[in-house]
Structure 1
Amino acid sequence: MTRIEFHFNAPERLQYVCRLLRKAHARNLRVGVVGSDVALRQLDTALWVFSELDFLPHSTSADTQDVQTASPIRLHADPAQWVGLDVLVNLGDDVPQGFEKFERLIEIVATDDHGRMTARQRWRHYTAQGYDLLQHDLSKIAPP
């Protein structure tokens, strides 16, 4: 069964996701990130400028299939086609289709009212499906 975690109270959501992806990449995990086209474009840009010392190899839906397959980090609005990834990170408002084929799903929840409201809806969906959810309150963690 997929392990589902909610990381909430993310004040700088994109920076947090970049750090999370850096950590996953260092552990040789293959990660898919799903969300709106706007959020994924912003993340793509953030990954290029995130750190002068780290390169986080990633692909988007605009890349060729070969590039996407070779990429350890994939950004795409539709995760249903992905095979062989370990972790799914959700930046979207909805429950991602096909999340159950991943070992782990991480829901990133910002501090705004809309983000909290949609996260509550996803939380209810997962618990209704019988998932035990883990929660990480990022406001209680010291910044890196």
Structure 2
Amino acid sequence: MTRIEFHFNTQERLVHTCRLLRKARSQGFRVGVVGEPSTLQRLNQALWSFSETEFLAHCTAEDPPLVQEASALFLGEQAMHRPDLTVLVNLGDQVPAAYERFERLIEVVANDEHGRSEARNRWKYYKAQGFDLVQHDLSKKSET
């Protein structure tokens, strides 16, 4: 069964996502990130610049198939066509398509009223589906 986690109360959602992706890659995971095109575009830019000493190689749905196959981080509106991905990060407002096929789903909640409201709706949906949910309150942790 998919492990579903909610990361909330982060001061910088995209920076937190970059750190999360860096950690997942260091542990050998292949990760998909889904969300709205504008959010994914900002994340794409952030992955190039969030650290002065490292770069997180990634691809998007617009990249050629060979690049997509070689990349362990995939940014797209949907990640379901990539069977090699084991972790899915959701930056969108909706429940991602085919989330149940992933070992782990991480919901990174926007720190505004709209983001929290939509996250509550997703939380209720997953609970109704019988998932045990894990919460990570990032206001109680230092983000490094």
Give the RMSD, CA atoms, in angstroms.
0.7
Q: Which residue of 1 aligns with 2:128?
A: 128
Q: Please give the per-residue CA displacement for 1:97-128, whole angstroms capped at 9, x wherever unaligned.
A: 00000000000012100000000000000000
**2:84 match:** 84
Q: For the residues of structure 1 that align with 2:127 and 2:43, how far apart are their CA atoms?
A: 29
Length-normalised TM-score, structure 2: 0.98
Question: CA separation in 1, counterparts of 2:26 and 2:142?
Answer: 21
Distance 2:69 2:101 in 1: 17
Could you tell me which residue of structure 2 aligns to residue 20 of structure 1? 20
Matches within 5 A, 1:18-57: 18-57=18-57
Tell me how far apart the structure 1 counterparts of residues 64 and 143 of structure 2 sit (CA, whole Å): 36
Give me the whole-angstrom Cα distance separating, in 2, the residues matched to 1:143 and 1:25. Answer: 17
Identity %: 57
Whole-Å separation in 2 of the counterparts to 1:29 and 1:80 = 16
Q: For 1:137 and 1:117, locate their aligned partners in 2 and report how far apart those are by CA, in whole Å.
A: 16
Letter in 2 for 1:37: P
Q: Distance in 2 between matches of 1:44 and 1:143?
A: 20
TM-score by length of 1: 0.98
**Counterpart-to-counterpart distance in 2, 1:34 and 1:142:** 25
Unaligned runs of 5+ in 2: none
Unpaired runs of 5+ in structure 1? Answer: none
